[in-house]
Structure 1
Amino acid sequence: MEPVSEFKSKSGLKRIVTAFFYSIDGFKAAWKGEHAFRQEVSVFVVGTIIALLLRVSAFEKLVLIGVLLLILIVELINSSIEAVVDRVSLERHPLSKNAKDFGSAAVLLTCLLATATWAVVLYNRFI
């Protein structure tokens, strides 16, 4: 049986190293081609600095940074869905719109989760 892709044919350390460089390529492509990703990275960097400076527990710092990282993760998944939809066809289609809208809704929910998390931690600490 033939491997599905060149990536799938590797095993062991070679697969891990190759996967790492594919991931770096993914970050580069997202940074170059996705404005929302660049904005969210900016929020992540600023938020991480603020979280590390706050007088909260190590666990709360982890949670504050973790929800910001989750936004980036969901944005990357959303961008991959959009790329696949566009690869299949640039023609307008209700299913293509749904796929893109679902991804966007996932990013929105993640942003709302991050906002609520930050609000609760800051409220409990300072109010």
Structure 2
Amino acid sequence: MKSEAKGLNRLFHASKYSWQGLMAGLKSEAALRQEIAALALLLPVIFWLDISAAERSMLLLSTLLVLIVELLNTAVETVVDRIGDDYHELSGKAKDLASAAVLITLFGAGAIWLMILW
């Protein structure tokens, strides 16, 4: 499934596929919608706070990292579900590990917010 597109054409196609992935995630994943809503609420706070540019960057990046890991979690779940509906211990383990990555990222983002706001 390798694309033959080159240069700006490749960039256009890659951007289109990325947008399609984001829209698919928004359509199918309530957690992603909730995290984007949280980002929408937190984004003005990030720029309202009287903090350094480095702290502002940490708040923004930690929040975006939650979205990134949630998208990767959704990708893992989608691939596992594509393989089959039958329960398999390794399929469950893959999904649990991806979910754990989201949880750890949420804890990390929360810790960063607490440290900077405190």
Normalized against structure 2, the TM-score is what? Answer: 0.96
Q: CA deviation at 1:9?
A: 2.4
Q: Which has the larger radius of gyration?
A: 1
5+ unaligned residues in a row in structure 1: which ranges? Answer: none
Identity %: 41
**1:27: which partner in 2?**
22
Q: CA deviation at 1:16?
A: 0.8
5+ unaligned residues in a row in structure 2: which ranges? Answer: none
Aligned residues: 118
Deviations 1:53-80 (A, max 9, x none): 1111111111101100000000000000
CA RMSD for the aligned pairs? 0.9
**1:101: which partner in 2?**
96
The letter of the residue matching 1:48 is L
Q: Does 1:62 align with 2:57?
A: yes
The letter of the residue matching 1:13 is L
Which of 101, 120, 123 is 2:115 aligned to? Answer: 120
Question: Which secondary structure state, in structure 2, belongs to the residue aligned with residue 73 of structure 1?
Answer: helix
Q: Which runs of 4+ in 1 moved over 6 A?
A: none
Which of 11, 16, 26 is 1:16 aligned to? Answer: 11
Larger RCO: Structure 1 or Structure 2 (Cα < 8 Å, ≥ 6 residues apart)? 2
